[in-house]
Amino acid sequence: MYFKWYFNWIIVVVFLMSCQQKDKTKNFFNNPSTLQLKYAKHFGIQEKEKIKYLFVTENFKDTSWIKLDKHYQKIAALGTIPVFQMYLLNSLEYLVAIDDIRYYCLDSIYKLYSAKKIIEVQPNLQWNYELLLFADPDILITYSNLKENTQLQHILMNHQIQHLVYLDYLEETPLARAEWIKAIGALIGKDSLANQIFEDIEKRYIELKQITENTTNRPNVLTEVMYGDVWYIAGKNSYIAQLISDAGGKYIFDFHDYNNSRPYSFEYVLKYAQDADVWINFHQFRSLQELQTAFSKYRLFKPFQTQRCFNNNKIQNQFGFNDYYESGICLPYKILEDLIKILHPELLPNKKEFYYYYQLPEK
């Protein structure tokens, strides 16, 4: 009897707790003071007591907040995407540090680097805390939260360096990733310019998307190659799946109901994708010959035989890093234009050159 009474209470308490949590997860996006973003889900800007805050959230439960009570003018941005977005905002003079110069394709970065305006603080993936202190940034932008790095957290706290975790890679659509330029704009106080640039990107993207909207002929598209023994396949809610469908193609694995990449075997991919029409994104490979040397069974795919293989590394820097993952992610309409040209060349008769893609030559 006592036990039952007790048990009921536990159920009630658990129920209440679960309710409370649900409310918590929703409040900051439904809050009327939140700046409405069109696509991005992992960041936002909210006004509390007349002070604006930029918030970033990974799992929609915990958020980290950055106070926007001043314009950040010394930014350490460890990543190609925030740096390129600063370039788009014409604000590279605020950049004081990057991770490793070898990752960048942008010429302006090399100029600033040789003029000693910016320094590397994570060369070879090794932190150089001395140079980080020397650069003396107001804000550090990194891709991961680095909570486990106690020394870094200690330095950030002691020197009042804000930390923005750049989670653009969690966004599911190209436009959502591009919308992160608004976060950079908010930091350096160029909100309206950022909005303007994003509207332009959006307009161009949607115009291109409309071209393919009514096509009934949708070629099957296979993406990526094996990494070791594993083929990482992006789900239907992923960035690449969205791009392919916007470009008027059919992503072969659009029945995979997840948004990240998961590992599968070669045979699994062969089973579904043997008769694909087009194959894109081959990482470092630059010819069909190279591809076949790496793994001879790639030739079993139809696109290999018909030579409908396109890679996105047309523009690389001298260290082999790909501009696709720098300017491409920030300006997704360029990628979309390339993909439409690949899948439906008849729809873009005036386009002669690709931005990032090229057809893999035989040798």
Residues that bind other proteins (CB under 8 A): 58-59, 62, 123-131, 133-134, 136, 143-145, 147-152, 154-155, 158-159, 230, 260, 263
Q: Pick between residue 64 and residue 215 the one whose CB is nearest to other proteins.
A: 64
Min dist CB 219 to other proteins, Å, is 28
DSSP 293-346: HH-GGGGGSHHHHHT-EEES-SSB-TT--BGGGTHHHHSHHHHHHHHHHHH-GG
Backbone angles phi, psi at 350, to 5 degrees: -85, -10
Q: Which is nearer to other proteins, 133 or 211 (CB)?
A: 133
Q: Which residues contact 62 (CB under 8 A, 6 or more apart)?
A: none
Instruction: Tell me whether residue 62 or residue 275 sits nearer to other proteins (CB atom).
Output: 62
Within a 10 A sphere around the Cβ of 21, how many other Cβ atoms? Answer: 10
Least separation in angstroms between residue 150's CB and other proteins is 6
Which residue number, 83 or 167, has a Cβ lying nearer to other proteins? 167
Distances (CA, A) of 292 to 106, 145, 226, 273, 297: 32, 39, 12, 17, 7
For the bound state, the minimum distance from the C-beta of residue 229 to other proteins, rounded and expressed in Å, comes to: 10
- Name the residue among 269, 256, 259, 257 with its Cα closest to residue 226: 269
Residue closer to other proteins (CB basis): 135 or 340: 135
DSSP-based three-state secondary structure for 43: strand
Spatial distance between the Cα atoms of 253 and 165, rounded to a whole number of angstroms: 30
Shortest Cβ 144–other proteins spacing (Å): 5
Shortest gap between Cβ of 100 and other proteins (angstroms)?
A: 9
Question: Does an H or E element contain 95, and which?
Answer: strand 95-98
Q: In angstroms, what is the minimal distance from the CB of 306 to other proteins?
A: 32
* Rounded-to-integer distance, Cα 343 and Cα 31, Å: 42
The residue written with tokens 């060369």 in the block is 123
| Selection from 342, 318, 348 nearest residue 102 by Cα | 318
**Closest distance between other proteins and the C-beta of residue 292, in Å?**
26
For other proteins, the closer of residues 156 and 243 by Cβ is: 156
- Residue (18 or 296) nearer to other proteins, CB: 18
